[in-house]
Amino acid sequence: MIKLNGTVTDGNNFFENTDPFDLIAEYGSPLYVYNERLLRENCRLLKNFCPYPQFQLHYSVKANANLSLLRIIREEGLRVDAMSPGEIVVEQAAGFSSGEILFVSNNISDTEMQFVHDKGILMSVDSVSQLERYATLFPDSEIFIRFNTGIGAGHHEKVVTGGKNTKFGVTPDAIPAVKDILRRYNIRLKGINQHIGSLFLEKSPYMESVESIFEIARQFDDLDFIDFGGGFGVPYHKQEGQGALDFCDMGQALAAAMKNFSNEYGKQLTYVIEPGRFVVCEAGVLIGTVHAIKENHGTKYVGTDLGLNTLMRPAMYDAFHDVEVYRATEDVSAAYEAVTITGNICETGDILAKNRLMPEIFENDLICVLDAGAYGYSMASNYTCRLRPAEYLITGERGRLIRRRDTFDDILAAYV
């Protein structure tokens, strides 16, 4: 096998002793592949970057809810967030206790509230309307509330979740109404949270949002914790040398801000972050196969099995993923050319990489999409009745299947 553009997976020894062609032969194409060592390294980096004693990490499971990965993340001492009852079910199957789960809700039903409450899991609501619903159902209970202070950040307008143009959070002007409900129903506000958006690589927007949530915290007397949300970015343009977030610098700044605020507040508050992407993104790749090459009106298309049903991010967010190419033979073609790499779905937007300068690609080459561990499998679907791929974990010397490929029976199973 030869690797073209393969500096990243060679650099971190992603595949260890495994051969991508063997994995594809055994588990089918496409295939999600994760590396346990890299996953554990990310967890440890997060656990250690911020030197504040009551600092709590809640992995945001929507980035990747694979049960085996969750067990590893739990072993590393992280807790979790959930955003749906289904996520709670998976988290509890992975061994997380109710006390280790925070539920961050958005527009949920009474039945869902009841489900979370019955499990003894603390929930955040993100509107006055949902607060009142919760309070009516469960007076004399506890809650936390998501605020939107008007600050947002992210790599695409669809992932900016704070700020003035998003559906999320309670705005500061509603604080009197919030207090009124808390008082009338005897609800204790244990914490406040926010999530400004996803994928920042500079500390300034996050630190700015930290200051603005402190502004909200000052208006409540007896909080136990403040949750700053997730959004810690990873560099998707590694092949161009894009740098990573400076965790050391960020950790110092966060710890100083936390300490100052606790002093001012007169209480050793617990501070929470909810990273999703950062935990799993770089620990996963997606491998697919080239089935066709053609030229259409001056554009060269590389046709693969990596449809938007398998990896949604490029179609949904115009997201960029670095791509490596693996070839079973030793035929190296030195020629670079601009190509558009597409999937196998009947959608014009089914494009993995547009107008990308790549070494010449041939049929039967493998395409390895980097940084696919987050929002990859978790957003995969059965669109066009395609089977979602298997997931495989490289664990040191050996590896193992951690989710089988869908079957046609899975496709038929839910029809009545």
Ligand X SMILES: *Cc1c(COP(=O)(O)O)cnc(C)c1O
Q: How far is the CB of 124 from ligand X (least distance, A)?
A: 8
Map the footprint of ligand X across residues 62-81, applying CB under 6 A.
Answer: 62-63, 81
Q: How many residues does the chain have?
A: 416
Structure tokens at 393: 């974990």
How many CA atoms lie within 13 Å of 298's alpha carbon, on the beta-carbon side? 0
Q: How far is the CB of 382 from ligand X (least distance, A)?
A: 23
One of 144, 232, 271, 392 touching ligand X (CB under 6 A)? 232
Q: How far is the CB of 202 from ligand X (least distance, A)?
A: 14
Q: How far is the CB of 122 from ligand X (least distance, A)?
A: 14
- Helix extents (H) in 35-103: 36-48, 67-75, 85-93
Question: Please, which residue, 60 or 127, has the CB nearer to ligand X?
Answer: 60
* Alpha carbon distance 278, 285 (integer Å): 14
CB 253 within 8 A of CB 207: yes
SS3 label, residue 235 = coil
Q: How far is the CB of 385 from ligand X (least distance, A)?
A: 28
One of 76, 87, 91, 274 touching ligand X (CB under 6 A)? 274
One of 191, 231, 376, 399 touching ligand X (CB under 6 A)? 231
229 is an interface residue for ligand X by CB under 6 A = yes
Phi/psi at 26 (5° precision): -85, -40
Q: How far is the CB of 231 from ligand X (least distance, A)?
A: 4
Structure tokens at 132: 């009142």
Structure tokens at 29: 């194409």
One of 169, 230, 235, 373 touching ligand X (CB under 6 A)? 230
Phi/psi at 382 (5° precision): -95, 25
Tell me the number of residues near ligand X by CB under 6 A: 17
Question: Please, which residue, 27 or 147, has the CB nearer to ligand X?
Answer: 147
Q: Which stretch binds ligand X (CB under 6 A): 38-46, 55-63, 354-362, 398-406?
A: 55-63
Q: How far is the CB of 230 from ligand X (least distance, A)?
A: 3
Q: What is the largest CA-CA distance in the chain?
A: 74
Our answer to whether residue 248 is catalytic in this structure is no
One of 9, 42, 60, 344 touching ligand X (CB under 6 A)? 60
Q: How far is the CB of 387 from ligand X (least distance, A)?
A: 26
CB 248 within 8 A of CB 32: no
389 is an interface residue for ligand X by CB under 6 A = no
Map the footprint of ligand X across residues 175-204, applying CB under 6 A.
Answer: 195, 198-199
One of 155, 277, 321, 388 touching ligand X (CB under 6 A)? 277
Map the footprint of ligand X across residues 89-128, applying CB under 6 A.
Answer: 104
235 is an interface residue for ligand X by CB under 6 A = no
* Alpha carbon distance 386, 179 (integer Å): 50
Q: Between the CA atoms of 256, 77, 242 and 337, what dihedral angle is there, to the nearest 10 degrees? A: -170
Question: Please, which residue, 81 or 305, has the CB nearer to ligand X?
Answer: 81
What single-letter DSSP state applies at residue 348?
A: T
SS3 label, residue 379 = helix
Q: Which stretch binds ligand X (CB under 6 A): 13-21, 228-236, 288-296, 307-315?
A: 228-236
| Active-site hit among 43, 248, 346, 385 | 346
Question: Please, which residue, 64 or 304, has the CB nearer to ligand X?
Answer: 64
Q: Which stretch binds ligand X (CB under 6 A): 65-73, 212-220, 230-238, 299-307?
A: 230-238
Sign, CA torsion 4/314/237/30: negative
Q: Which stretch binds ligand X (CB under 6 A): 5-13, 268-276, 285-293, 320-328?
A: 268-276
* Alpha carbon distance 393, 401 (integer Å): 6
Q: Which residues contact 293 (CB under 8 A, 6 or more apart)?
A: 300, 301, 302, 303, 361, 362, 363
Question: Please, which residue, 81 or 324, has the CB nearer to ligand X?
Answer: 81
Is 134 exposed, middle or buried, given 0-12, 13-18 or 19+ CB atoms closer than 10 A? buried
One of 20, 152, 251, 275 touching ligand X (CB under 6 A)? 275
Using alpha carbons, list the distances in angstroms from residue 355 to 242, 253, 284, 300, 358. 19, 40, 24, 9, 9
Give the interface with ligand X as residue ranges (CB under 6 A). 60, 62-63, 81, 104, 195, 198-199, 229-232, 274-278
Active site residues per annotation: 346
